[in-house]
Amino acid sequence: MIIGKVVATEKAPTTIDEFYFWTHSDRILSPFDVVKVTHVGRANAASTTFGVVESISHITDAVSSISSYISNDFGDVETAPNMQRLGMNYVKAKVVGNTQNIYTPVRHGSQVSLANKQEIKQALGLHNIKNPLPCGYLAMYDGEEKSVRIPIHLNSKFLVGPEGAHLNISGISGLAAKTSYTMFLLKALQQKFLNNIGERKEDSIAFVLFNVKGRDLLAIDEPNRDLTEKDAEIYEMLDIEPTPFENVKYFYPYGKAGEINSYAQRSDVNEQMDQSKAFKYKYIFEHDKESLELFFANIEDSTGTMDSILNYILSEQGGFRGIRNWREFTRELSDQASGKSERGNEIKVVSWRKFKRVANKAITNPMFAARADKTKNEIRLEEAINQIEKNEMLVIDIAKLSEDMQAFVFGNVIRNIYELKLGQSDEREPEDIPSKIVIFVDELNKYASNDVPKTSPVLKQIIDITERGRSLGIVLFSAEQFKSAIHNRVKGNCSTHAYGRTNAIEISKSDYRFVPQVYKNMMTRLKQGEYIIENPVFRSLLNIKFPKPVYKQFKNG
């Protein structure tokens, strides 16, 4: 369908990167729509240049605004104008490809048409995707008889390795549906690996998810009863089964009197425990003392004093020799802080007091216990990580913990995953360990923002994963409200970025300087279920949509 013609003027020429065209003022087009232009070719065969709409303006022959005012009887809003102005829509398109790889600027007067499904895929580089993984669908030419809906796939090797890895999602809380989109991708990944689809049959995957808000992820193996027929049709189009996640285990913080410290309903947890898929996690001094440094993840230690104390404790110097539980540990800390116990001469009492204040605040949590009773579904998270199976999904609940304790649990789990993949566990053979482990955490700003101390052990672990985790098969899926607040080395090493609805202040930051202004403005009014995606296999940013989650939703947290 021909919709207009290319226009090249002295002030606005066509280039190898962009071109302009006019359309009728009634023509409905939207940013991200794909158009095609017949162009010069080789061997007397014409080629086709594809463009993606970036901006649309409406122009008339009025010289100035006052012309419109005068033609309406000097400002009478009720009168018919004396002169009917000539008007058109003026569209700017970004060149994304040519069927013969010819990038000579398109010519003035060339016909511009809407593209069909196959041409849209070819234009955006979506027609020959290897290792395809559904990431949503495109809806183009809204309001036209030729409106299209196209499933979009990315190369899974650019999402979970080895070619590229790590996903970062940003957007306003609630409106951007960050968790829902991440879980949509995880569902596609789990199905892909459960069906063993791929070039390497030995590839396997597992997932570790942190539940940070209410009960969001505490029933992902239960179906969403509110899915509509329209949602089911979308899942069918994307070739994804509209069923909940499989092989799920839940881990809840151990609370007072043996209860769990969670927003989850006790009846739901008891039912999960009866099915041996829910556990209460604890930290035991003898096995978990190496993680003491994580208590100081958000505390500046520019002089390294806290680090010196940690080395003193872990090397069992002075009164820390032979300590086997948290009670003995806190007693010795008190002696050090009061100056009663032997200590290194280089460590002052005031430093021990600071260490004690921070450590005691954490250790008073019931999770720090003397032992874990497996007959009562109690477990250490390190044991759970070491036992993780292929295609298994572990959900670790930290929603009700304080921010300091959330950072401790998160850092401890990441460390255990790293040690497992480095082969430091004697309990597992390498071929039995999932070749890829995907970690998902929301509110990344708590652990990897620009405000987190540079000495933070959690920040160091996250940077290490984004920079070197791909080679080990450790992949980070992260989400936050504002991408601009995240450490540059973390977001800079993510191969895939998803932008949900955000605000005008955020899009003014340097992270969005490569995004055309019209697309930036669209980011401030995206709907739930809409994302703008950036991935190395795509020739342009894509405005995709995705269906509702397949698992149970809690409307009130």
- Over the stretch 10-69, which tens digit does the pLDDT of each residue have? 999 999 999 999 999 888 888 899 999 999 988 778 999 999 999 999 988 888 888 777
Domains 2-115 and 152-247+389-545 share a fold: no
Tokens of 366: 């019931």
Rounded to an integer, the average pLDDT of 529-540 is 88
Lowest mean pLDDT among 87-96, 295-304, 483-492: 295-304
DSSP for 22-90 reads: EE-TT----TT-EEEEEE--STT--EEEEEEEEEEEEEES-SSHHHHHHHTTTT-TTSPPSS---EEEE
Whole-number Cα distances in Å, 512 to 260, 295, 520: 42, 34, 8
| pLDDT tens figures, 499-517 | 999 999 999 998 898 888 8
Percentage of the chain beyond pLDDT 70 is 95
Q: Which of 400, 399, 395, 372 is nearest to 385 (CA)?
A: 395
Whether pLDDT at 70 is above 60: yes
Tokens of 206: 């597992």
Question: CA angle at residue 158 from 156 to 164, to 5 degrees?
Answer: 145
pLDDT of residue 83: 63
**Which ranges of 339-402 would DSSP assign to H, the alpha helix?**
349-363, 381-386
**Burial annotation 298-323 (CB, 10 A radius, 16+ → b, else e):** beebeeebbebbbebbeeeebbbeeb
- What is the pTM for the complete model shown? 0.87
Q: Which of 445, 436, 485, 443 is nearest to 465 (CA)?
A: 436
pLDDT of residue 345: 56
Rounded to whole angstroms, how far apart are CA atoms 46 and 100?
9
| pLDDT tens figures, 269-283 | 999 999 999 999 999
- 469: exposed, middle or buried (C-beta count within 10 Å: 0-12, 13-18, 19+)? buried
pLDDT of residue 544: 92
Whether pLDDT at 198 is above 60: no
Bridge pairing between strands 132-140 and 148-155: antiparallel
pLDDT top residue among 530 and 338: 530
Rounded to whole angstroms, how far apart are CA atoms 100 and 204?
39
Beta-bridge mates of residue 94: 18, 52
Domain range annotation of the chain: 2-115, 152-247+389-545, 287-363
Max mean pLDDT range (8-22, 119-133, 190-204, 415-429): 8-22
Tokens of 60: 């008339």
pLDDT of residue 489: 92
Tokens of 429: 């053979």
CATH hierarchy code of domain 2-115: 2.40.10
pLDDT of residue 424: 66
Lowest mean pLDDT among 64-68, 117-121, 352-356: 64-68
Whether pLDDT at 200 is above 60: no
**Are the C-beta atoms of 170 and 500 separated by less than 8 Å?**
yes
In the structure, what pLDDT confidence band is assigned to residue 428 with cuts at 50, 70 and 90? Answer: confident
pLDDT of residue 343: 57
In the structure, what pLDDT confidence band is assigned to residue 248 with cuts at 50, 70 and 90? Answer: very high
pLDDT of residue 148: 85
Whether pLDDT at 146 is above 70: no
What sign results for the dihedral spanned by CA atoms 416, 421, 422, 425? positive
Query: In sequence order, which residues have a C-beta less than 8 Å from that of residue 356 and are 6 or more positions away?
Result: 333, 334, 336, 337
Tell me how far apart the 2 most distant CA atoms of the chain are, in Å: 98
Domain 152-247+389-545 has CATH 3.90.1150.10: no
Rounded to the nearest 10 degrees, how much is the dihedral formed by the CA atoms of 478, 451, 535, 123?
130
Tokens of 536: 């190395």
pLDDT of residue 557: 46
Rounded to whole angstroms, how far apart are CA atoms 328 and 350?
21
Whether pLDDT at 81 is above 60: yes
| pLDDT tens figures, 154-166 | 999 999 988 889 9
Question: CA angle at residue 419 from 418 to 421, to 5 degrees?
Answer: 65
Whole-number Cα distances in Å, 60 to 8, 28, 140, 231: 17, 17, 27, 43
pLDDT of residue 388: 93
Whether pLDDT at 85 is above 90: no
In the structure, what pLDDT confidence band is assigned to residue 76 with cuts at 50, 70 and 90? Answer: confident
**Are the C-beta atoms of 172 and 528 separated by less than 8 Å?**
no
Number of Cβ within 10 Å of residue 359's Cβ equals: 22
Number of Cβ within 10 Å of residue 60's Cβ equals: 13
| pLDDT tens figures, 261-270 | 999 999 999 9
**Are the C-beta atoms of 14 and 105 separated by less than 8 Å?**
yes
Rounded to whole angstroms, how far apart are CA atoms 553 and 433?
31
Rounded to an integer, the average pLDDT of 475-499 is 92
pLDDT of residue 199: 46
Rounded to whole angstroms, how far apart are CA atoms 198 and 527?
33
Beta-bridge mates of residue 494: none
**Are the C-beta atoms of 378 and 279 separated by less than 8 Å?**
yes
Rounded to an integer, the average pLDDT of 67-74 is 75
Whether pLDDT at 228 is above 80: yes
**Burial annotation 103-112 (CB, 10 A radius, 16+ → b, else e):** eebbeeebeb
pLDDT of residue 296: 83
